[in-house]
């Protein structure tokens, strides 16, 4: 098993650049399946989830190459509509190949997606929406078979929850479907708007992205384009939280504060100074941290669930009592028991964590149970006294490009090793 050895106690100082967004890149890579032409995606992060997406496209008969941060995808000739179970299990975003495959080929056979175990993570909203668009779905022995006997057509779809993945899947299926699709209560995350902008550059007719009603008029075909993927707002939040924990000052470049308001506001309330201008965010933490008012995770523009483990780590060192309620995923407190091993005082009951801040965390042997839990433990360990051995960092590699290198460049002491 790969691990990080983290020597705590150093402040962070300097400039650090945020990579392209994983959660924007993955649906765009799936969208390439709809395009009978070459696509070049710039600022594509080098992550295991991106490699898994490339494996899926290659298996379907497309050609992909990743070099110097640019992913080139050519899906002129997809030959298969079958995604093997072993590839589906690699990540959650494999579910998006449902909409993309149906949109391009009119049929698809796959199984349930894998990904971080943050809770049940069903795809019922995705499936119900596709059924409304004319897809016949049958499920046997864990295999989902989708056909479209009358062709794919537009539909009015009201989501009972603004699911990010369901909104993306519907957008992918609707881009080439016959007629108009309207998604009510769609997700408003910036990654949805980035996907819409990418599809528009390829000739799609989409409007309303960024609001809770998205309209898609199906077009006959999409063409290739070059596109620069938006910065990863959760990676930026990770750097900000690491600086808040360790102290010091950081300039986080290629980051937009407008997309990170709730996180920046909480960090300010906890005692950090934060300024955003153009595409950079400056953070300084000189004073001891203090507790904040209750935090509740919500769909965008609320407090992002992906930043919740990170902020919980920050609050574990904030004087006073803070409360965090997790409203999106039932199993997203998996960093908490590990933070407790490091000396944090956190009581977790169901979807609520009560954090009594302590002025010191200690190095310990801990495990990453999922992607953001791993990032939170890394940030906590940088600020802890002594050495932390963090295992299961494969999870971290799903969403961060060499996190240890990035943080070491601004003063953290982290090495990757076999543990």
Q: Which one of 97, 227, 303, 329 is in contact with ligand UD1 (CB under 6 A)?
A: 329
Closer Cβ to ligand UD1, 28 or 361, answer by number: 28
The yes or no reply on residue 166 touching ligand UD1 (CB under 6 A) is yes
Q: Which one of 86, 161, 211, 223 is in contact with ligand UD1 (CB under 6 A)?
A: 161
The yes or no reply on residue 359 touching ligand UD1 (CB under 6 A) is no
Q: 93 Cβ partners below 8 Å, 6+ apart?
A: 26, 27, 30, 49, 53, 113, 115, 165
Calpha distance 168→338 (Å, rounded):
33
The answer to whether 381 and 390 are in contact (CB under 8 A) is: yes
Closer Cβ to ligand UD1, 30 or 406, answer by number: 30
CB nearest ligand UD1: which residue? 165
The yes or no reply on residue 14 touching ligand UD1 (CB under 6 A) is no
Q: Which one of 100, 164, 313, 369 is in contact with ligand UD1 (CB under 6 A)?
A: 164
Secondary structure element (H or E) that encloses residue 397, with its range: helix 394-397
Active-site residue, selected from the candidate residues 32, 116, 146, 241:
116
The neighbour count for residue 201, using CB atoms within 10 Å, is 15
Rounded to 5°, the CA angle 210-214-216 comes to 130
The yes or no reply on residue 169 touching ligand UD1 (CB under 6 A) is no
- Region of 65 on the Ramachandran plot (φ > 0 left; ψ -120 to 50 alpha; else beta): beta
Kindly identify the residues of this chain, within the stretch 120-139, that bind ligand UD1 according to CB under 6 A.
Answer: 120-126
The yes or no reply on residue 163 touching ligand UD1 (CB under 6 A) is yes
Residue 225 annotated as catalytic: no
Calpha distance 310→339 (Å, rounded):
11
The 3 state secondary structure assigned to 65-113 is EEECCEEEEECCCCCCCECCHHHHCCCHHHHHHHHHHHHHHCEEEEECC
Kindly identify the residues of this chain, within the stretch 89-108, that bind ligand UD1 according to CB under 6 A.
Answer: 92-93
Among the residue ranges 82-90, 160-168, 220-228, 384-392, the one whose residues contact ligand UD1 (CB under 6 A):
160-168
Report the interface residues with ligand UD1, using CB under 6 A: 23, 26, 92-93, 119-126, 161, 163-166, 187, 305-306, 328-329
Catalytic residues, by residue number, are 116
């Amino acid at each position: 098993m790969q691990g990080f050895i983290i020597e705590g106690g150093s402040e962070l100082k300097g400039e650090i650049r945020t990579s392209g967004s994983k959660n924007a890149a993955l649906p765009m890579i799936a969208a390439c399946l709809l395009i009978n032409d070459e696509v070049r995606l710039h600022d594509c992060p080098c992550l295991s989830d991106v490699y898994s997406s490339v494996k899926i496209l290659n298996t379907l008969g497309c050609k992909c190459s990743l070099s110097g941060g640019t992913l080139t995808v050519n899906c002129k000739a997809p030959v298969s509509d079958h995604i093997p179970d072993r590839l589906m299990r690699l990540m959650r975003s494999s579910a998006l190949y449902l909409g993309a495959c149906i949109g391009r080929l009119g049929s698809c056979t796959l199984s349930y997606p894998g990904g971080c175990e943050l809770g049940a993570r069903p795809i019922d909203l995705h499936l119900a929406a596709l059924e409304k668009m004319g897809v016949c779905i049958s499920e046997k022995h864990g295999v989902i078979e989708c056909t479209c006997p009358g062709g794919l057509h537009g539909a009015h779809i009201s989501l009972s929850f603004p699911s990010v993945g369901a909104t993306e899947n519907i957008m992918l299926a609707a881009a080439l479907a016959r007629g108009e699709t309207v998604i009510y209560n769609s997700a408003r995350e910036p990654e949805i708007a980035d996907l819409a902008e990418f599809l528009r550059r390829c000739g799609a007719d989409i409007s309303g992205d960024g609001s809770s009603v998205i309209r898609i008029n199906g077009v006959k075909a999409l063409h290739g384009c070059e596109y620069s993927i938006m910065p990863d707002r959760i990676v930026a939040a990770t750097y900000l939280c690491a600086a808040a924990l360790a102290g010091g000052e950081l300039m986080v470049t290629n980051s937009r504060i407008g997309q990170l308001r709730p996180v920046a506001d909480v960090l300010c309330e906890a005692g950090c100074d934060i300024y955003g201008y153009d595409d950079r965010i400056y953070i300084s933490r000189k004073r001891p941290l203090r507790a904040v008012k209750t935090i509740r995770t919500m769909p965008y523009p609320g407090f992002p669930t992906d930043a919740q483990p990170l902020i919980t780590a920050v609050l574990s060192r904030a004087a006073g009592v803070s409360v965090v309620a997790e409203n999106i995923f039932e199993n997203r407190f998996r960093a908490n028991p590990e933070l407790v091993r490091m000396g944090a005082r956190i009581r977790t009951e169901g979807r609520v964590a009560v954090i009594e801040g302590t002025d010191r965390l200690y190095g310990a042997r801990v495990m990453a149970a999922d992607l953001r839990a791993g990032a939170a433990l890394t940030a906590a360990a940088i600020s802890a006294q002594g050495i932390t051995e963090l295992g299961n960092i494969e999870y971290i590699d799903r969403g961060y490009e060499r996190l240890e290198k990035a943080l070491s460049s601004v003063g953290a002491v982290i090495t990757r090793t076999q543990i």
